[in-house]
């Protein structure tokens, strides 16, 4: 593999690592581990821990999909492997 393809995969894996850390923190952290602490805060009349477990994580996941698509397009353009 040449240095250009190694840089591409390093950037891709870095992006995936960041997204998976956020996904884990939101789904497991906010929805399960810190739910009791977050339940002291109300959002729309519901405890925040419950809200994250039921709906908030879905919003974050959708945002992560759009973020991934945008950043992956940027990485593709940076390494000149984009589709026209």
pLDDT in tens, 29-69: 888 888 889 899 998 888 988 888 888 889 999 999 999 99
Q: How far apart are CA 10 and CA 49, in angstroms?
A: 35
Question: How many angstroms separate the first and last alpha carbons of the chain?
Answer: 24
What value does the mean pLDDT of the chain take?
91
Q: What is the pTM of this model?
A: 0.81
According to the model, what pLDDT value does residue 63 have?
Answer: 97
Q: What is the reported pLDDT for 3?
A: 81
Task: Indicate whether 84 pLDDT > 80.
Answer: no
C-beta of residue 36 within 8 angstroms of C-beta of residue 47: no
Instruction: Provide the residue ranges of all domains of the chain, joining segments of one domain with +.
Output: 3-78
**Spatial distance between the Cα atoms of 24 and 1, rounded to a whole number of angstroms:** 32
Distance CA 8, CA 11 (A): 5
């Amino acid at each position: 593999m040449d240095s250009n393809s190694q840089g591409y995969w390093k950037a891709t894996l870095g992006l995936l690592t960041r997204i998976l850390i956020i996904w884990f923190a939101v789904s497991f952290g906010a929805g399960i581990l810190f739910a009791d602490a977050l339940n002291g805060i109300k959002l729309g009349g519901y405890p925040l821990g419950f809200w994250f477990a039921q709906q908030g994580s879905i919003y974050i996941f959708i945002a992560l999909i759009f973020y991934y698509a945008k950043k992956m397009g940027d990485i593709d353009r940076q390494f000149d492997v984009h589709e026209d």
